[in-house]
Structure 1
Amino acid sequence: MKHNPKVLGLLGLAMRAGQVVSGEEGVLAAIKSQKVQLVLIAEDASQGTKKKFTDKSSYRDIPHRILFEKEVLGHAIGKKTRAVIGIVDPNFAKKMLEMIDCSH
């Protein structure tokens, strides 16, 4: 997916609002406790990481999307790199899904 600046901007806003969980362990814990509404997985994450988070989120009916590179995802939330990001707030998640799915 080409870098959609609107999605990345919304991701940064969600981070500043404290509605983002990042890093594999944090997102995994948030999925298990069903605190996340959307899981974003980097395109260049390892196959094992992609499979783990796709399976876990699908099992719990949490939408997920594979998009951007780790560096782009990380940069959007002020980190160096991130393979996985969870969106906690349902409104941010809904808007982000709309933006991602419309741009395909």
Structure 2
Amino acid sequence: MTTVENKPKRSLSIRALLEILVLLVTAGYAIYSMHSLNQANIENTQKVEQLIVSLNERVDQFIASDDEVYNRYIKNLRKSLDSLSEDERELVMSVYDVRQKTGE
């Protein structure tokens, strides 16, 4: 008489394979969506940054073109600097120095 060995089945059912496939597809879609949204946010940030730079240039041109506005701007700038603490003023001036050196 031959004995039959009971070996555990190691194969997955079709249902389990489908569940794994659905999980992988869902995870892939979520990663793709996050990447797409991140790219869109980066593009929007760059557009906003360009707009701000353009507006700053226009404001600078406007201030420089009118002596009265320029004098008022300098006066307000000095008031603002005077209202800062020594550490804050030092920080602002260091940022200004870096921007002057880099040409921004």
The TM-score bracket by the shorter chain reads: under 0.3
TM-score, normalised via structure 2 length: 0.26
Find the structure with the greater CA-based Rg. Answer: 2
Query: Which has the bigger relative contact order, CA under 8 A and spacing at least 6?
Result: 1
TM-score, normalised via structure 1 length: 0.26
Query: Which structure shows the higher strand fraction?
Result: 1
